[in-house]
Structure 1
Amino acid sequence: METQSTTLSGMNARWVEHGTGSPVVLVHGIPTSPRLWRHVMPLVHGRTLAWEMPGYGSSIPDGKDRDLGLSAQAGYFLEWIESLDLKQPPVLVGHDLGGGVAQIAVVRAAERFSGLVLTNSVCYDSWPIPSVKAMQRVAPALAFLPQVLMYPTFVQLIHRGHDDRDVALESLAEHWGPYVSHGAARSMMRQVAALDVQDTLDISDRLAGLKLPARVVWGEADTFQKIGYGERLAADLGADLIRIPGGKHFTPEDHPRDIADAINSLLTGAGKD
């Protein structure tokens, strides 16, 4: 996998790329980065490009003094897509907050994409989850907490979202590092302070009008984004709902084959019915 970057509107845009062929763009959520997709990308039968949201991962410094809300992120994302000059519309894949960005992006510019895959995504009024709302309430104080006090919260969040303990431990090693490098408390404070459910509510009534091949993949045991929201998304998008029994929130890490299979089914044209 190769890390790429460019400058757009005075801000660095970073992504991780792998493979060749038909394009697939992937968007992560909180508290992750493009590394969320590390096990999915090699299984996809195409050129995968995992975008890093400003304010997350190695792009945490680029989020300082920027709007990190999902509506703004969708704008940054669409500008990045335009800069790639892809020869064909990509399949768009989103998880968690990245799924919210994906929904906003397809509502704004459905013609730029050939398909949509959402997995355990924020949507409608499903978010922020209670633990994030609690962090939002104490955001000003959160910025001054020592790193050692932030880590247990991070560990709990990761473990609650995984059904595979070994993968959860791997995930901790992957995703905590950028927070350590850039100041865990302040970085997370900026991220959670920007979250506003209105961003998905504003576009929710337009999802049913999209004429885009779609798949919805959901861990049935997710306590962050419950399966009922996956059912609602699938119904609105006219999409197949692919259930992962026992699966929790971080499906791209615990169940990469299920995600890749859904993507590949769109790449081969099976979703264009």
Structure 2
Amino acid sequence: MLLRIISIVFPIFLVVIIGVFYGRKHRPEMVAANRLNMEVFLPALIFTALAGKSFALTDNMPSIVGSLVIVIGSGLLSWPVARAMGFNPKTLVPPTMFNNVGNMGLPLMLLTFGDQALGAAVVLMLIATLLQFVLYPWMINGNSPLATVWREPFILAAALGVTVSLTGITVWPPIMTACKILGDISLGLMIFSLGVRLSTAKLNAWSIGVTGAILTPVTGMITAWIFCELVNIPRADQDILFVFGALPPAVSNFIFAERYNQEPDKVASIVMIGNVMAIVFVPLALALRL
């Protein structure tokens, strides 16, 4: 069991560490690479996963509902904790809700559960990302850009992929192959980019950083466990949702905090310490479910 857990998490953390050291030495400008990933490689991965013959929307309903419950439930659990500890809930709560399902979650679930989990993993990422685009601005300033989020390439790719899946349209195989080639670039680039981003993050607030780092996986796993106990879903879906709940805060939380000027230094600490502490919480989640 220990060897299996190590074999799952080691490749991910190794690529992150490589990204950290490369980032510290060369300070690469990742804006263009990350934009390519968000606008080309990731949409190709999403389309390939959702338009593939192995994907069925009804089979992934547990992932859709479960992700909604985990994201919102984590926020509801962490809000009173933030108030009780004297932290600004607008700073602490969003990182506990929106975890690193992109950079870390997708590769982790594929390594853990195999290619058959790609559809569920993509659905989890889509739900979490969409909720972050909609809920984060609303939580900070009461506004939500719901009308513009549908222009995001990953949403368009998801809509196209689901349409292909539901209608039974057969996409010309060479097109699917091209999308798969582009999509395969996305996973490695996401993990490496996470390392580069962490190499420049600063720890200016240890207390809120450690609190958020612990609160994110704990509230996620608690919410996932409660949902799976109350709802009768297959064991495979339960395992995927539990691992999803155990993920650390997403790097995008720092980007949103900068955009809305919501104590970005403190959010950076939460993100950095949270992803370091994933070395503990991710293997723990795997040990509990495998």
Q: Same fold (TM over 0.5)?
A: no
TM (normalized to structure 1)? 0.31
Q: Give 1 or 2: higher helix fraction.
A: 2
Q: Give 1 or 2: higher strand fraction.
A: 1
TM (normalized to structure 2)? 0.29
Instruction: Give 1 or 2 for the bigger CA radius of gyration.
Output: 2
Looking at both structures, which has the greater relative contact order when contacts are Cα pairs under 8 Å and sequence separation is at least 6?
2
